[in-house]
Structure 1
């Protein structure tokens, strides 16, 4: 199914991106897209290797006269973050993304667009398809499951790739290039559900928090956006002060790496307490709207009647849970002392979910240093262990330490200045690029990351700037042409 984005330039890149959008590929469900890429590459006469973890490596010979250039690895990830607005029914494992042009931007209808990292993936495929692009020996590395655990990067085998230079396409700001990134770890927390019977005179009511912007838990964490989960925590503590309002369920957020846009709680209470609860919610909505004015302008707190649950939390559990969620670290924990304006450490209270036997909480902790990461992890564990919860950490990955002597960085800066008359800013991104893991496996690689402007990643507000995509393509093609010769 084609769409209007196929009319955009550069044509090959946008055509590939449109095809990528048409094939469902959330994290953990990349098989169909991987098969399509494999079939397409083989029809082009390219060498395709699938490794044990599901990553693809596609090899293309050097263009005539460039056989002696250093080998380059173009890299993108195959999966996307699945987020949809509450009023949109979308099965990310079956339904295609619906991109459309909105002025200078491309968006999706009611869902994440998947420009993160679909645009980078489309650019890699376009290089393989366009025989006018000049390059030395080329490999395209397409990893799986980057967004939910970096499984593909973790599982990448040594000695599988032959190149010396890696160009990562997973950055999101035109005019910036990246030479470092944060590492991270997941905090997985469980608090046993201690249940009581619902009092006979109680009715049920559901509180919902909606209308928040959300966003990327690394890139947007310093922008003071509201977290629905932290607002819910504040509400729970205030509601505890009301008589006979009992908590049955809590939920909020869907991904550890997205700032929570929505949250909900199910209460039971006697009719005599309903007015006090209503007044409290109305007051707090006004408070939040004023607090986040200009940042999150559409915060909505709403109470609706609900079906009576079969259980409520014990008063002790309700108090411990409310206190733990309120005390749970969230947001920027420290700024870098070496790089002005760069976040050193942060954490995101990403997911809250009431399950059969426990309440589950998941946080994603990021830091430019392992020490900083571990300090925030220790604080998080202490908070929840005081509340009687179990806290386990998983999926720790290293940051990518900046290399001031990087030759590919200098080449990219020079190329950018020649093309656009401006030297780009060199930055360290507070997000988990796969480069840190690659460096541990292939320490000799010279790496850089760049990409077009993408805003609202990890949320349905995601959009990619059309002109920035064209500049990204120009820069990529230029850099490939200028890769130096291999030293004999």
Structure 2
């Protein structure tokens, strides 16, 4: 049953529902690309698949409107694949299960894909609407935005013809974003010779779950728990108080999501079973007290498991755990002129450790390139001292705000005419493709906006239904006005 079919505006919601039925996690976009290409051909517009995998649709101006400047509607086609623990959803093959929950649309036990399926659906709805009077129109659907803005990186300087870009990847209806942070992926890794585990020891799996997680740009300043940092505290004390050895550690799975879950396998000498069980119980209570009002129902559990054959060598183990503990995580500084907006941050996103190797992934963000480099050097120094190899990739600068933008002034006026309210103008700590696109099209005027979403990049992702119609009305009116 499609619970979305009666929602307004029907044209947009129909396209959004169709998108939820096409698997489209990052790096697995073949089906989504085909869906968009078939859509473009069906409605009779110019349809392009570029070398990077982006899909571009191009629609001529309404007769008599050829003199107007062109508009590019832009959204990314990939989604973050996150699901609740125990959910058997396969993001490569299974359709999502969206449903209406009061004034919100959610998906059963998974991310919803409204980031950025709402932007894609809005552009599709506009492109097929022949009642609109408009100048030249383009729709740009980019690939792998969530994993490093790869579609924007691969976009050619001559691919677009428009003068205005409407980026539909923001998450608060009634707000226009005109600037964003840049980002940098940081990887720390090491291989080593494992040690043979003591066969008389006892093995346990420590699991941390129940954290909210969230977008590492939009929600890094909320004070939410980072599962990898929290697990480091537990493992550190297990080593110090219970003579624990470390065999495995797996936490987080997306570079731009605050890790919600983490598991570690440790071994302890026979006789220390009660001590480590008590330690975990104490930390369970401690975490829930520390994060009261920010998190709820944090679950830290321990269970006996089969004894591993190998563990991490003691000195390397201690260096890795200490580096994870010492590594900077969270907001480093807020924008001096906008003290409520983070300027510089880092997210300790992913830890994958076995008895013979470790790989850690972090993501640094900043609106200031020099501060981003400073945080990167800070992180590199931390893990280098632990003997690890540190590499970076995907460095991109932020989007510099233009508060006197002609497009912004028009967008503000149109929004007030429609809603009777003044729009909020802001910059975001999240990463948007506008910075990269703007570096290739420096004369292009850009603004970002969208319907209201909450908790993107988590299974709690939801879209506020009343905001969608207002968002779509704004897109339609801008297309007719510009």
TM-score range, shorter chain: over 0.9
TM-score normalised according to structure 2 size: 0.98
Runs (4+) of structure 1 moved beyond 6 Å?
Answer: none
Please give the root-mean-square deviation of Cα atoms over the aligned residues, in Å. Answer: 1.1
Further displaced range: 113-122 or 286-295: 286-295
Give the aligned partner of residue 364 of structure 1: 363
State how far apart, in whole Å, the 1-side matches of 2:270 and 2:150 are.
50
Residue pair 2:242, 2:276 contacting (<8 A) in 1 also: no
Give the aligned partner of residue 91 of structure 1: 90
2:140 is aligned with 1:141 = yes
C-alpha deviation, 1:65, in angstroms: 3.4
State how far apart, in whole Å, the 2-side matches of 1:125 and 1:30 are.
17
State the SS of the aligned residue for 1:206.
strand
Give the aligned partner of residue 21 of structure 2: 22
C-alpha deviation, 1:355, in angstroms: 4.8
State how far apart, in whole Å, the 2-side matches of 1:133 and 1:113 are.
29
C-alpha deviation, 1:375, in angstroms: 0.6
Residue pair 1:351, 1:362 contacting (<8 A) in 2 also: yes
Residue pair 1:242, 1:273 contacting (<8 A) in 2 also: no
Give the aligned partner of residue 10 of structure 2: 11
Residue pair 1:194, 1:317 contacting (<8 A) in 2 also: no
C-alpha deviation, 1:357, in angstroms: 4.1
After superposition, give the CA deviation of every residue in 1:393-414 in whole Å (9 maximum; x if it has no partner).
0000110000122100000001
C-alpha deviation, 1:41, in angstroms: 1.2
Give the aligned partner of residue 418 of structure 1: 417
Give the aligned partner of residue 50 of structure 2: 51
Residue pair 1:48, 1:58 contacting (<8 A) in 2 also: yes
Residue pair 2:242, 2:275 contacting (<8 A) in 1 also: no
TM-score normalised according to structure 1 size: 0.97
Give structure 1 stretches of 5+ with no counterpart: 484-488
After superposition, give the CA deviation of every residue in 1:79-106 in whole Å (9 maximum; x if it has no partner).
0000011110111111111100000000
Give the aligned partner of residue 161 of structure 1: 160
State how far apart, in whole Å, the 2-side matches of 1:49 and 1:126 are.
18
The within-5 A match list for 1:27-106 is 27-106=26-105
Give the aligned partner of residue 486 of structure 1: none
2:481 is aligned with 1:479 = no
State how far apart, in whole Å, the 2-side matches of 1:340 and 1:423 are.
21
Give the aligned partner of residue 188 of structure 2: 189
C-alpha deviation, 1:453, in angstroms: 0.6
State how far apart, in whole Å, the 1-side matches of 2:360 and 2:239 are.
20
State how far apart, in whole Å, the 1-side matches of 2:258 and 2:196 are.
34
Residue pair 1:75, 1:166 contacting (<8 A) in 2 also: yes
Q: Across the two proteins, how many residue pairs are aligned to each other?
A: 482
C-alpha deviation, 1:193, in angstroms: 3.5
Give the aligned partner of residue 462 of structure 1: 461
State the SS of the aligned residue for 1:414.
helix
Residue pair 1:185, 1:393 contacting (<8 A) in 2 also: yes
Residue pair 2:197, 2:311 contacting (<8 A) in 1 also: yes
State the SS of the aligned residue for 2:340.
coil
State the SS of the aligned residue for 1:7.
coil
State how far apart, in whole Å, the 1-side matches of 2:431 and 2:348 are.
16
State how far apart, in whole Å, the 1-side matches of 2:456 and 2:9 are.
22
2:288 is aligned with 1:289 = yes
Give the aligned partner of residue 302 of structure 1: 301
2:405 is aligned with 1:406 = yes
State how far apart, in whole Å, the 1-side matches of 2:178 and 2:302 are.
47
Further displaced range: 74-83 or 315-324: 315-324
Give structure 2 stretches of 5+ with no counterpart: none
Give the aligned partner of residue 385 of structure 1: 384
